Chain A
Amino acid sequence: MARIIVVTSGKGGVGKTTTSAAIAMGLAKKGHKTAVIDFDVGLRNLDLILGCERRVVYDFVNVINGEATLNQALIKDKRCDKLFVLPASQTRDKDALTVEGVGKVLKELKKTFKYIVCDSPAGIERGAHLAMYFADDAFVVTNPEVSSVRDSDRMLGILSSKSQRAEKSETPIKEYLLLTRYNPARVKLGEMLSVDDVQDILSLHLLGVIPESQAVLNASNSGTPVILDEASDAGQSYSDIVDRYLGEDKPHRFIDEEKKGLFGRLFRS
């Protein structure tokens, strides 16, 4: 059975698109046919992060409106033939996505794909609502920061009341916490909420912690999902997340500060 994953947060700029690109690539690299859809109508960006921006011909809205077939619009990744991207439309018409339209496209994708990753826009408006409406699993991307945690909780309320599963009284969407842009050094200094703090507040199953990492900017500069940077901390963290999601039991990493050199030891408490 195909599974639909929504990558959501409420708050903007917390790392949804970075995460969507990474986990979609990760799932595809594991051999699962995966589609990743950009729901951010008017602010298409997933194509850039995945490095396929120059190959966009048709988009999500073209498919919904019957102006292109799904096969015409899906872009096959050059690095992994199991990964396909459906770009967002750059139209300024916020009503371009409809429940029926999105439902129809997802239904068709489910016939041939194992995983469908929906990159949600920020906010709780139409785009964000449609991105999560048909989901089976939700990756709640959160930064260790007050407004992000609050908005994540808000999003949890929406997932449990406004989704198709909620409306039909089916098994609820499975919710996972992805704590990203984590800085263990600042946590240690008492300047940043810790993983435990965030879990105490949100009570979510932790899928992984992604550290604040320079690798992310390097990856987006070159249009390579950071998970392909296997030497990087963020890349490894996303790999672990994919493995855990697929049922592997992997210990959490990047929660504590790395071992310090001599200078660090001098200052250690």
Chain B
Amino acid sequence: MSLLNYFKKSKPNTAQLAKERLQILVAHERTQRNQPSYLPELQKELMAVIKKYVQVNQDDISINYESDDEQETLELNIVLPDNV
């Protein structure tokens, strides 16, 4: 083992860390930017409608948009409170 390797061992590989962080971030931002622009408005209106019937918070509703070559899917997830 050379002198250099000795020092190398003590340092974390920050490039690897950078790559992993970027891969996650870029994948996330790519799906975000392909989302239809009406999504935030839709989310707000849905929220208003649901609130008429059940007591939920903003965090309890999530909308996921995904698309591939074949289809676009809109997934609506509502976490209902325990006492319903």
How far, in angstroms, from A161 to B29 measured CA to CA in the complex?
Answer: 14
How far, in angstroms, from A7 to B34 measured CA to CA in the complex?
Answer: 24
Asked whether B15 lies within 8 Å of A190 as measured between CB atoms, the reply is: yes
Asked whether A191 lies within 8 Å of B14 as measured between CB atoms, the reply is: yes
In the complex, whether A70 has a CB less than 8 A from a CB of chain B is no
In the complex, whether A197 has a CB less than 8 A from a CB of chain B is yes
Residues from chain B with Cβ under 8 Å of A154 in the complex: 29
Smallest beta-carbon distance B13→chain A, Å: 4
Asked whether A194 lies within 8 Å of B15 as measured between CB atoms, the reply is: yes
Known: A266-B3, A267-B3, A267-B4. A201 touches B26 (CB 8 A): yes
Asked whether A190 lies within 8 Å of B30 as measured between CB atoms, the reply is: no
Smallest beta-carbon distance B14→chain A, Å: 6
Residues from chain A with Cβ under 8 Å of B15 in the complex: 187, 190-194, 197
Contact with B along A177-215 (1 / 0, CB 8 A): 000000000010111111001001110000000000000
Asked whether B4 lies within 8 Å of A269 as measured between CB atoms, the reply is: yes
Asked whether A200 lies within 8 Å of B19 as measured between CB atoms, the reply is: yes
In the complex, whether B54 has a CB less than 8 A from a CB of chain A is no
Asked whether A189 lies within 8 Å of B8 as measured between CB atoms, the reply is: yes
Q: Is the interface of B mostly helix, strand, loop or mixed?
A: helix
Residues from chain A with Cβ under 8 Å of B13 in the complex: 190
Smallest beta-carbon distance A263→chain B, Å: 11
How far, in angstroms, from A157 to B14 measured CA to CA in the complex?
Answer: 27
Asked whether B2 lies within 8 Å of A190 as measured between CB atoms, the reply is: no
Smallest beta-carbon distance A138→chain B, Å: 17
Q: Which of A102-155 contact B (CB under 8 A)?
A: 145-146, 149-150, 153-154
Q: Which of B40-74 contact A (CB under 8 A)?
A: none
How far, in angstroms, from A197 to B22 measured CA to CA in the complex?
Answer: 10
Asked whether B4 lies within 8 Å of A149 as measured between CB atoms, the reply is: no
Asked whether A146 lies within 8 Å of B4 as measured between CB atoms, the reply is: no
Nearest B residue to A144 via CB reads B15
Residues from chain B with Cβ under 8 Å of A267 in the complex: 2-4
Q: Which of A161, A189, A193, A269 contacts B19 (CB 8 A)?
A: A193
Contacts A153-B26, A190-B14, A266-B3 known; 13 new A-B pairs at CB < 8 A: A145-B18, A146-B18, A150-B25, A150-B29, A189-B8, A190-B8, A193-B19, A193-B22, A197-B15, A200-B19, A201-B26, A267-B4, A268-B4
The 19 sampled A-B contact pairs (Cβ below 8 Å) are: A145-B18, A146-B18, A150-B22, A153-B26, A153-B29, A157-B30, A157-B33, A189-B8, A189-B11, A190-B8, A190-B15, A190-B16, A191-B14, A197-B15, A197-B18, A200-B23, A201-B22, A269-B1, A269-B5
